[in-house]
Amino acid sequence: MRPKSLYWHQFILTAGMVALAMTVLAVSFFALSYNYFLSEKRNTMKKDVVLISELSRDYFGGSDIYGYGDLNFRSLASYVADLSGDDVLICQTNGQVLLTSDDQLVGQSLRLSDNIVEEVMKGQIYSGMTDLNGAYEKRVFIVCMPVVDQYNGQIIGIVAMLSDATDLSEMWRAFTGIFFFTALTVMLTAVVACSVVTARQTKPLQDMSKAARRFAGGNFDQRVTKSGSSDEIDELADSFNAMADSLQRTEMQRREFIANVSHELKTPMTTIGGYTDGILDGTIPPEKANQYLRTISDETKRLSRLVRRMLDISRLQANDVIRDKKRFDICESMRRAIISMEKKITDRGLDVDAEIPDEPVWVLGDPDLITQVVYNLLENAAKFAPSGSTLRLALTTRGGKALVAVQNQGETIPPEELSLLFERFHKSDKSRSEDKDGVGLGLYIVKTILSQHREEIRVTSENGVTTFTFSLTMTK
């Protein structure tokens, strides 16, 4: 997998965020836990050192500090040290150690550091780390406070308690180990979960990328498999598959359109070319030349109509009808369409039943295009209506919509063919056998115009009666 893929970008970002969060949590935990344990130890030692300070006040006031009383005080200090687990130091005001409960320091000349003595002599309690001027190999935690004479308030000595930091460090290390184990478990779980989730999220995107490359090569069969999580990725996969279906239908329509155009052009061109060559090389006798020239003229006009209809479709598809909508009277458009169709209707021996209101019915749309819709529907109805029958053109209103219906009598259209009537170059067998003028684009143009108006058209065919009905939005 490429190192710069979306998978690695998202994986590194998520893993980095988890690692950063765990690092901040670790630093906070270590700082808080260490300070907490240190604070608890300091408070405990302060209580003990206050007790020792109270007990040592009388001994500092005696004259024979190294006599019998010294032994009793040493025993008392050792007893307190055993209870607390810490060592006790009794010092003079200059920091010189007089008495210690630590047997390893007995007999040594010990002295508190000057900074400790200076702070304690100000009447404050000191706490911190010290090696007691090299007496200890490792630094220990020390709490010192002054011994104050109860009569004159003068500082007569210093009491200190020493605690080995090893216990504190071991406890801190134990908590640190637990934290690191927990953090490592969380990190591994997060990494695995992140890897799985990222892989599931990026797989549809990778499939889309592969499918898009196949689309570029003309293969529209590829589809994206959804992850099943019903999230935005699945919505994108649905949209992508819908786009693929649309592209596939468009490609099929394009191929069908090219095939139909080729077929529609080939027949008249073959006829024109064959008859023209026959006239030129003498195969067709001169007395029949006019007959075949009329056929050539008819086929030329048919080619012209085909090209004109194709140009109309191209213009319609490129035009923004919604932007050009305006208010017009649909009744007037219906009357103009009937007038334009008058000659064809008369030539076919048809009657027209026009149910058009006398009052204007105002609708929104392009009046010229809607007039063309009515004209095309009337032309289509006239082609299939038997001579002597009646065409019906009616207008009704319902629910803010104007409904225009064009009806003719004739052969019933099979139900399976109704959905194909608006396809490009679709012509029924009857049309192909009796009507050579049609090119199969009239109803497709009707559908295109109404779709651009965001209106609908329906067709029914029952008991020899076929009715096309389309809607338009009314306005005041």
Question: What is the DSSP annotation of 314-364?
Answer: HHHHHS-TGGG-EEEEHHHHHHHHHHHTHHHHHHTT-EEEEE--SS--EEE
Confidence (pLDDT) at 459: 93
For 25-71, how does the pLDDT look when each residue is reduced to its tens digit (9 = 90+)?
A: 777 877 777 677 777 777 777 777 777 777 777 667 654 444 444 55
The DSSP output letter for 219 is -
User: Contacts by 247-251 with C-beta closer than 8 Å and gap 24+?
Assistant: 247/215, 247/220, 248/220, 248/221, 251/218, 251/220
pLDDT the model gives residue 67: 44
The secondary structure element, H or E, covering residue 475 is none
Residues 149, 156 contacting (CB under 8 angstroms): yes
- Confidence (pTM): 0.47
Query: b or e along 218-242 (b: 16 or more beta carbons within 10 Å of the residue's beta carbon)?
Result: eebebebebbeeeeebeeebeebbe
Give pLDDT, residue 263: 64
**What are the E-state strand segments in 111-202?**
126-130, 140-148, 155-163
Tell me, letter by letter, the H, E, C secondary structure of 428-450.
Answer: CHHHHHHCCCCCCCHHHHHHHHH
Rounded distance between C-alpha atoms, residue 287 and residue 296, angstroms: 16
User: Cβ distance 468 to 459 under 8 Å?
Assistant: yes
- Write out the two tokens for 420: 């194909």
Asked if 57 and 187 count as a contact pair (C-beta separation under 8 A), the reply is no
Those residues of the chain that have pLDDT short of 50 are: 1-3, 63-69, 429-436
Give me the pLDDT at residue 465, please: 93
Find the length of the chain: 476
The predicted structure's pLDDT at residue 69: 47
Residue 319, pLDDT score: 60
CA distances from 308 to 31, 46, 52, 376 (A): 85, 105, 115, 14
Cα atoms in the 13 Å half-sphere on the side-chain side of 14: 19
3-state secondary structure 183-212: HHHHHHHHHHHHHHHHHHHHHHHHHHHHHH
Q: Pairing state of beta strands 351-355 and 390-398?
A: parallel
Give 414's DSSP letter.
P
Q: What is the pLDDT of residues 190-211, one digit of tens each?
A: 778 877 777 777 777 777 777 7
Give the pLDDT confidence of 322-355 residue by residue, as tens digits.
566 789 999 999 998 998 888 889 888 999 999 9
Other CB atoms within 10 A of residue 359 CB: 7
Q: What are residue 383's phi and psi, to 5 degrees?
A: -65, -35
